[in-house]
Amino acid sequence: MDGKFLDNDIEKVVDADRAHVWHHLIQHAPWTGDDPKADPRIIVEGKGMRVWDQKGKEHLDAVSGGVWTVNVGYGRERIANAVRDQLIKLPYFAGSTGSIPGALFSEKLISKMPGMSRVYYTNSGSEANEKAFKMVRQIAHKRYGGKKYKILYRDRDYHGSTLAAMSAGGQDERNAQYGPFAPGFVRVPHCMEYRAQWDLSGEEYGVAAANAIEEVILAEGPETIGALCLEPVTAGGGVITPPEGYWPRVQEICRKYDILLHIDEVVCGVGRTGTWFGYQHYGVEPDFVTMAKGVASGYAAIACCVTNERVFEMFRDDSTDPMNYFRDISTFGGCTAGPAAALENMAIIEEEDLLGNTIKMGDYMLDQLHALADKHEVIGNVRGKGLFLGAELVTDRASKEPVDEKMAAAVVGDCMAQGVVIGMTNRSIPGFNNTLCYSPALIVTKDDVDEIISATSNALTKVFG
Ligand code: PLP
């Protein structure tokens, strides 16, 4: 790093942060105490896989900006230049009109999503999901006399922080204290073979889990269910990969009862699992796909709610009805900097074959995590897809009792002290904040993976012996 920021009076920055910034997802109490180690951490600069904090300490980032976002890594000048050029040319005009990067990125994105056709721009993953929910509700009114309005969501899945998105939230610890939630959202069981809900395995397990969704549909009345919203691989709920058999059966059930399939790709989208989108591993044909984090790798705020033409057509099938169109707006949704950054982001992934690297390095990292599990009894299960991996920690492999979350946090903290940032499931499922999470940028090398695994091994030895 060039040390530019460290030459400034960084202590003043820390004081300003301590006094005025309300950080996300963290308890601030320690920062007002006397413990100097409890300073807020400020990340000052990044390059490739590495970031530097206010003390000049280097960290290898194994979670792509903390929340699986910076897919192409830090310091990409060509993205910054594209954003700069676009901002000078035109920073903003409302989304009821078009923009050059908005049109070009839509075309490029759709070229990676056979069967899909329309891109609705928003600012965040939560908002993208809310747009899909609103479309489902409007379709219910337009087509089904308001009856087919319910939205199914899964236990353990997360779809965002706004109140309607939380109404579709399957993580009880995250939802606690924020209710009451919006009506019309109905929970269905998850599909997690490691914590078997059914005495089955592999494909049979997948089919049973999908059938459990059908049971809820029948109990509620299929004529009341508008959509099913799922993460392809569950992220914050524990990095949960579905077994064979699950997705085809889910699709079959949706078609049988005329239920729209909404896939939340906010984490999996744009390369994270080694395909452009997570659902593409499973041969599914969704009606809605929402995405955010990796769309522009965090270089600009952009999220999208993508639909197929069938959904889009439902909003223009009667142009004489003044209430027929999707009466929604998002002031900054589709701001020109977002799609300009997203176009470059996608070009980088293509030109550097980062999907190929994700498959190759993901397989290598999964093998290394399995080898780690051979050494450390506390790892009960390793799972993931591409560069989206998790290691679940248990006190005993037979009972699968989760370790206390403080122990998992101690592992994360020790890695941080060694200069490697890893993540964990955090304040999501009561009693199950016990999965270590890995989602390095798609540029990760074998040496980086070795460093991440070695830090985790040291930390596990230190914390669990
Ligand atoms: N959906 C999933 C699967 C997520 O993991 C997240 C955020 O972590 C969201 C939606 C919400 O995205 P945002 O924080 O951009 O609103």
226, pLDDT greater than 70: yes
Question: What ipTM, to 2 d.p.?
Answer: 0.99
CATH number for 264? 3.40.640.10
Which atom of ligand 1 is closest in space to residue 123's alpha carbon?
A: 15
Asked if residue 136 and residue 55 are part of one domain, the reply reads no
> How many angstroms does the Cα of residue 265 sit away from the middle of ligand 1?
9
Taking residues 354-377, report their average pLDDT. Answer: 98
261, pLDDT greater than 50: yes
Asked if residue 222 and residue 88 are part of one domain, the reply reads yes
Find the domain containing 427 and state its range.
Answer: 4-70+354-464
Between residues 250 and 95, which one has the greater pLDDT?
Answer: 250
Asked if residue 15 and residue 149 are part of one domain, the reply reads no
**Which of 289, 321, 351 is at the close of a domain?**
351
Q: What is the pLDDT of residue 416?
A: 96
Q: Do 124 and 338 form a contact (C-beta atoms < 8 A)?
A: no
Q: Do 61 and 305 form a contact (C-beta atoms < 8 A)?
A: no
CATH number for 20? 3.90.1150.10
Distance CA 260, CA 323 (A): 22
Residues in Cβ contact with 57 at an 8 Å cutoff, skipping those fewer than 6 apart: 419
Q: What is the pLDDT of residue 5?
A: 52
> How many angstroms does the Cα of residue 462 sit away from the middle of ligand 1?
33
> How many angstroms does the Cα of residue 129 sit away from the middle of ligand 1?
9
Asked if residue 111 and residue 217 are part of one domain, the reply reads yes
Helix (H, G, I), strand (E, B) or coil at 186: strand
Asked if residue 341 and residue 289 are part of one domain, the reply reads yes
> How many angstroms does the Cα of residue 158 sit away from the middle of ligand 1?
7
Which residues have any ligand 1 atom within 6 Å of their CB?
Answer: 67, 124-126, 129, 158-161, 231, 235-236, 264, 266-267, 292
310, pLDDT greater than 60: yes
> How many angstroms does the Cα of residue 266 sit away from the middle of ligand 1?
6
> How many angstroms does the Cα of residue 199 sit away from the middle of ligand 1?
32
347, pLDDT greater than 90: yes
Of 68-82, 98-112, 309-323, the range with the lowest mean pLDDT is: 309-323
> How many angstroms does the Cα of residue 436 sit away from the middle of ligand 1?
18
Which atom of ligand 1 is closest in space to residue 303's alpha carbon?
A: 15
126, pLDDT greater than 90: yes
**Which of 323, 351, 379 is at the close of a domain?**
351
Distance CA 89, CA 66 (A): 32
What is the residue-averaged pLDDT of the chain? 94
Q: What is the pLDDT of residue 15?
A: 86
Q: What is the pLDDT of residue 145?
A: 95
Element (H, E) at 151: strand 150-154
* Ligand 1, atom 6, residue with closest C-alpha: 160
Query: Which DSSP symbol is given to 242?
Result: P
Q: Do 77 and 272 form a contact (C-beta atoms < 8 A)?
A: no
**Which of 305, 336, 351 is at the close of a domain?**
351
* Ligand 1, atom 7, residue with closest C-alpha: 160
Q: What is the pLDDT of residue 34?
A: 61
Q: Which residues of 3-16 are buried (b: 16+ CB within 10 A; e: fewer)?
A: eeebeeebeeebee
pLDDT confidence of 3, banded at 50, 70, 90? very low
> How many angstroms does the Cα of residue 264 sit away from the middle of ligand 1?
9
Q: What is the pLDDT of residue 14?
A: 87
Q: What is the pLDDT of residue 320?
A: 80
Asked if residue 383 and residue 332 are part of one domain, the reply reads no
User: Bridge-partner residues for 420, per DSSP?
Assistant: 60
Helix (H, G, I), strand (E, B) or coil at 147: coil
What Rg do the C-alpha atoms of the chain give, in angstroms? 22
Between residues 161 and 33, which one has the greater pLDDT?
Answer: 161
Asked if residue 193 and residue 157 are part of one domain, the reply reads yes
Which atom of ligand 1 is closest in space to residue 265's alpha carbon?
A: 3
Taking residues 398-412, report their average pLDDT. Answer: 96
pLDDT confidence of 33, banded at 50, 70, 90? low
Distance CA 201, CA 115 (A): 31
Q: What is the pLDDT of residue 37?
A: 56
Which residue out of 166, 266, 439 has the highest number of ligand 1 atoms within 8 Å of its CB and is therefore the one to mutate?
Answer: 266
8, pLDDT greater than 70: no
- What's the domain count of the chain? 2
pLDDT confidence of 248, banded at 50, 70, 90? very high
Asked if residue 423 and residue 332 are part of one domain, the reply reads no
Distance CA 67, CA 71 (A): 10
Asked if residue 175 and residue 313 are part of one domain, the reply reads yes
Which residue out of 175, 273, 293 has the highest number of ligand 1 atoms within 8 Å of its CB and is therefore the one to mutate?
Answer: 293
Q: pTM value? A: 0.96
pLDDT in tens, 182-220: 999 999 999 999 998 889 999 999 999 999 999 999 999
Q: What is the pLDDT of residue 430?
A: 86
Asked if residue 100 and residue 151 are part of one domain, the reply reads yes
Sequence length of the chain is 465
* Ligand 1, atom 1, residue with closest C-alpha: 159
Asked if residue 395 and residue 321 are part of one domain, the reply reads no
pLDDT confidence of 420, banded at 50, 70, 90? very high
Asked if residue 164 and residue 91 are part of one domain, the reply reads yes
Q: What is the pLDDT of residue 7?
A: 54
